[in-house]
Structure 1
């Protein structure tokens, strides 16, 4: 089972990579962007285990499933398009994008474990 520190580190790493990719596409760096990105992705990276605590090997239900991952990827795609087309960057949208990215990093790390992820998780 992957630990909380590993998930948070992966979430923060993902936020640095995304900021590095978004800045050349026109996302303006501000004093709010990086702290918001880091905090949101770190929170998103541990959120699945806050929703469904890892009390045993079978704790992975819907919020640790491939179906949830698919919904998150659709959400992130739409949010990414909104970030690129919106003139002023809304901090809430930015926070949701990075929190969702951290959440996806959590699910991807869990998918690499021997237990994997359930398809639907019901």
Structure 2
């Protein structure tokens, strides 16, 4: 099982990569975005285990499933495409985008554990 520190580290690493990419595209202009992105991705990276606490090996339900992961990736793609068409983003949109990216990093790490992710998790 992957630990909380590992999830937070991965979420923050993802946020640095995404910030660099979004700045290069001209989609992030405000200097307030960095702390919002870092905090949001760190929170998103531990959110799955706050929603479904790891009390046993079978704690992974819907919010730890491949279905939820796919839905989350669709949301992130839609948000990214709207950033491309709408221009620079506000802090709320960036916060939600980075929280979703942190959550996705959590699920990606969990997918590579021996327990993996359930398909639907019901």
Q: What TM bracket, shorter-length normalisation?
A: over 0.9
Unaligned runs of 5+ in 2: none
The offset of 1:28, in angstroms, is 3.0
Tell me, yes or no, if structure 1 residue 72 matches structure 2 residue 72: yes
CA deviations 1:61-109 (Å, max 9, x no partner) are 0000000000000000011112222234211111110000000000000
- 2:6 is aligned to 6
- Residue by residue over 1:45-68, the C-alpha shift from the partner in whole angstroms, topping out at 9 and shown as x without a partner, is 000000000000000000000000
State the TM-score, normalizing by the size of structure 2: 0.96
Q: How many residues align?
A: 122
> What TM-score results when the alignment is normalised by the length of structure 1?
0.96
Equivalent residue, structure 1, for 2:119? 119
Gaps of 5+ in 1: none
